[in-house]
Chain A
Amino acid sequence: MTAHALTLGRVLRFTVLSIGALIFLAPYIFMISTAGKAQSEIFSSSLSLIPEQWSYLENFGKALSRVSMTTLLMNGVIVCALIFVVQVVVAIPCAYAMAKLKFRAARLMMVLVMLGLLVPIHATALPLYVAFDRLAVLNSYTALVAPFSISVFAIFLFLQFFRAIPDDLIHAARLDGMSEVGIVARVIVPNAWPAITAFAIFSVVAHWNDLFWPLVVVTNQDFATPPLGLLYFRAAEAGDDYGALMAATLIITLPLVAVFLLAQKRFVEGITMTGLKG
Chain B
Amino acid sequence: MSILSLRSVTKSFAGNAILKGVSLEAKEGEFIALVGPSGCGKSTLLRIVAGLDHADSGEIAIGGRNVSAVAAADRNIAMVFQSYALYPHLTAGQNIAVPLAMRRLTAAQRLPVIGSLIPGQRQIRADIQRQVKDMASSLKIDHLLDRKPGQMSGGQRQRVALARAMVRHPSVFLMDEPLSNLDANLRVHARGEIVELHRRAGVPTLYVTHDQSEALSMADRVAVMIGGTLLQLASPEAIYDNPAHIEVARFLGQPRINVLKTRMNASGIVRFGTLTLAAERVPAGETPVLIAVRPEFIRLSARPDGILKARVERTEFLGSEVIVHARLDAMGEIVAKVAPAEAATLAPGRPVSVEIEPNRVMLFATTGERLQAKTIAAASTLEKIHG
Contact = CB atoms under 8 A, between A and B. Distances in A.
A177 B89 contact: no
Contacts of A190: 87, 89
Contact of B84 (A177, A179, A187, A278): A278
Q: Of residues B50, B81, B85, B103, which shows the largest number of chain A Cβ atoms within 10 Å of its Cβ?
A: B85
Interface in B154-208: 164
A182 B71 CA distance: 15
B98 interface: yes
A240 interface: no
Contacts of B52: 171, 174-175
Given A172-B81, A174-B72, A176-B73, A276 B88 contact: yes
Contacts of A176: 73, 98-99, 102, 164
Interface residues of A, number: 20
B265 interface: no
Contacts of A20: none
A4 interface: no
A48 B310 CA distance: 99
Interface string A178-196: 1100100011001100000
A130 interface: no
A259 B38 CA distance: 51
B88 A178 contact: no
B82 interface: yes
Interface of B: 47, 50-52, 71-73, 77-79, 81-89, 98-99, 102-103, 149-150, 164
Given A175-B78, A190-B87, 17 more contacts: A168-B82, A168-B85, A169-B88, A171-B79, A172-B81, A173-B87, A175-B50, A175-B51, A175-B73, A175-B79, A177-B73, A177-B99, A187-B87, A190-B89, A191-B89, A277-B150, A278-B85
12 contacts: A166-B83, A166-B85, A168-B81, A168-B83, A172-B79, A175-B77, A175-B99, A176-B164, A177-B73, A190-B87, A190-B89, A191-B87
Interface of A: 166, 168-169, 171-179, 182, 186-187, 190-191, 276-278
